[in-house]
Each structure stands twice: as structure tokens, then as C-alpha cells.
Amino acid sequence: MGRDMSQTAPSTASVAELAEALIACPSVTPAAGMVFDCLEGQLKPLGFEVVRFVAGEAPDGPVENLFAIRKGPEGSRHFAFAGHLDVVPPGEGWTSAPFMPERRGELLYGRGAVDMKGSIAAMVAAVREIPQDAGTISFVITGDEEGPARFGTVALIDLMRERGDIPDLCLVGEPTSVNRLGDMMKIGRRGSVNIFLEVEGTQGHVAYPHLAHNPITPLVAMLAELNGLLLDEGTDWFQASNLEVTDITVGNPAHNVIPAKAMARISIRFNDLHTGAELGARVTEIAEKHGGTARPVISGEAFLTEPGAFSDLLADAIRAETGVEPELSTSGGTSDARFLKDISPVIEFGLCNATMHKRDEAVALEDLEVLARIYRRTVQNALKA
């Protein structure tokens, strides 16, 4: 059954209890209110200044965000944890209620257990044993990573710049481990651009095609050319870029009418050989050749935190606590690291991702404790560097 955290002090709660308290706050994206109250209640007794604010307007806002900082001595190093309190909708068919955390055997069940309230709980547990004079530690937490992400981490970065609180290193707690805790960290991510394609035609009767212009024909030719593109063959740290057709829409209910318009959408995940703008321009040129238009929407650029001191100290902590040699990877989708890389070297590392976004999302109780120890070692060593 779930634990009642109302009488449990953050300074003595186990990592699992901290996670349970967060999971018990329903926070389908965009998260607001109760779950931020909970995290604030965990951080303030540990000496953190907590700043909460709401950014943005509809349709992609408003979004609640939290920045917490505990400053060390003047001139000391600054280590930031980053993550999100929002979760995807739980869906149907759970064995237990998704927002009533439940321990069964060696697992803790609940929406957000691994993505990523469990990691945030491990962060809180990690910092409470690090003395304030060791250096500056901050939390960069949004309520809209799973959503449009326009007014979340981007707005937090603006706040940090205004305050002058720019970290030397930033660790994002996304669930990066695959088969066991510690087997993978993310030192970069591919970029993402979605491009909306459209061809205007002339509506008419299918029996009189000379009086109409069918937009589907050039759209299909356009998609065929795009689908045949070989963007690259990958790099030392990145897999090959890929272009996928994700939607085709005509919306024509009549079998005997040539439609007036045809639309499609493509998604390109690209490595650091490209930029979103360059790919958008390339697709636009092909679209226009076929009589259509293209509207690129860039979600993020590819980035790489070069292997070195940061990845080494994290790998050392992982080996010390698990005996596992972590793989350095850039695989997977996007995360808010795509924004944070503009202000600090950033690496992602967290729990096993097998159940994220699935029903009956669950985390191993032991992994929560081990992750907290890995985070603690990492911060301690980073602040000494």
C-alpha cells in the first residue's frame, strides 16, 4: 500500500517514501500545484531557496516551474539536477491505481515511478547528505516536459540567466538505463524537426479530371522523393539521421470528388551533421518543386557533450555503486537536455526505462537507493573538481 508522507520528515524519509509522496500527487502534463508543493516541502528543510513561477499562455501554457538552489561558499562550483514532475496520462488497465503508489514485492508501482519522480526523489536523497560548504546545488524542475515544452525548461533557463545562477555541470534524471541500472548514460541527443506539407488543388468531379487538379498526385510524388533521401550514414557518436512520414490527410468524404487540398507531415531525427534550419530548407525546396509548401517546426538541435571529465566522474560513480560499465549513448528521443546544453555541459542518467509511459509503471526499490548513492558520489566529486 502507499505510504502517508504527511508525517515523514524529508531529512529521514527513504528514497522510496520520497518517491511515493511525489507519485501520490496526480500530475498529468502540464503539472501544477500539489506535486510542486510536495517537492518544495522536501527541499526547503534541506536549506534550499525555492522559486516557483508560472510561464506562458494558452495553447501551450500556462506552465508551472520550480527552481531551487542552495548556495555554497562564494566562488564554489555549481552542480544542477534537472527534470520534470509532469507525467503522461496513465491510460486504462492498471493493476493498482496509477496515482496511489503501491509496493508489491521488490517493486514500487505508480505513474512517474521511473519517468521521472523516482529520479527526482533520488536527487533529493542524494543532496541531503552533502554539506552546504561543499558547493552550490540546484534543482531545475518543470511541469511540462511531456507536453509542448515551450514554457518549461526554456523559461527556467531565462530565470537562471537573470539571476546569474548558471551551473558548471547539469545532470538530467531521465530514465536512460536499459537492462539494469547503470548500463547507459546519454551524452547527447539527435535533433528533431517536424515539417508540415501541403499541396493546393482544384476540386472537381472525378469524371471530368481536365476541369480539376488533383493535389494527391504531386503530394505522393513529393513524399516518394523525400522518402528516398539518404541524409547520412551516421557519425562516431550518432546513428544515421532518419526521415519518417507520420501523417497523410486529405479529408475527402466523397468517392466521386477530386479534393481541393492534400496534406502530410514528416518527422526527421537528425545527428550533428545537420541543423533543423538546413533540413527545413532542403525539404521546402523539394516541396516547392512539386507545387507544394512546407512549414518546418524545430523541436531541438542535435548536441553532444564530448566524453571527458563529466562523463568520467559519472561513470566512476556508477562503477563504484553497481560494478557496471556504462555505455555512452546518443540514442532515443528528445529531452529537455536539448535546452540545457545551451548553458552547461549536460548528461542524462537515471532509472531503467522498460516501463516508462506504460501501464503498471514500476521501479525496483533497490534501484532507487542505488541511484541516490550514484547521484551523491557524482555531485561530491563534481563539486571538488
Are both 127 and 198 inside the same structural domain? no
Domain count, the chain: 2
Looking at 251, 270, 300, the residue that finishes a domain is 300
Q: In the chain, at which residue ranges do the beta strands (DSSP E only) sit? A: 49-55, 63-70, 78-84, 102-104, 107-109, 136-142, 169-172, 184-186, 188-189, 191-200, 204-205, 242-249, 257-258, 261-270, 292-300, 303-304, 327-329, 346-348, 362-364
Are both 219 and 165 inside the same structural domain? no
Are both 84 and 232 inside the same structural domain? no
Looking at 267, 300, 333, the residue that finishes a domain is 300
Which among 17, 20, 64, 86 is annotated as catalytic?
A: 86
Are both 165 and 196 inside the same structural domain? no
User: What does the pLDDT read at residue 1?
Assistant: 41
pLDDT > 90? residue 5: no
Are both 39 and 181 inside the same structural domain? yes
User: What does the pLDDT read at residue 333?
Assistant: 84
Are both 321 and 376 inside the same structural domain? yes
Predicted model pTM:
0.90
Are both 228 and 355 inside the same structural domain? no
pLDDT grade, residue 7 (50/70/90)? low
Which segments are annotated as binding site?
84, 115, 146, 174, 357
Which domain, by its residues, includes 31? Answer: 5-189+302-384
Which among 20, 144, 145, 367 is annotated as catalytic?
A: 145
Q: Measured between alpha carbons, how far is residue 327 from residues 23, 116, 184, 237, 314 in Å?
A: 29, 21, 5, 11, 11
CATH of the domain at 260: 3.30.70.360
pLDDT > 70? residue 311: yes
pLDDT > 80? residue 10: no
Looking at 300, 328, 345, the residue that finishes a domain is 300
Average pLDDT estimate for 237-246: 97
User: What does the pLDDT read at residue 385?
Assistant: 76
CATH of the domain at 376: 3.40.630.10
Are both 144 and 59 inside the same structural domain? yes
Which segments are annotated as binding site for Zn(2+)?
84, 115, 146, 174, 357
Are both 107 and 28 inside the same structural domain? yes
Concerning whether 86 is annotated as a catalytic residue, the answer is yes
The model's pLDDT over 168-206, given as tens digits with 9 standing for 90+, comes to 999 999 999 999 999 999 999 999 999 999 999 999 999
139 CB-contact burial (10 Å; exposed 0-12 / middle 13-18 / buried 19+): buried
Are both 176 and 47 inside the same structural domain? yes
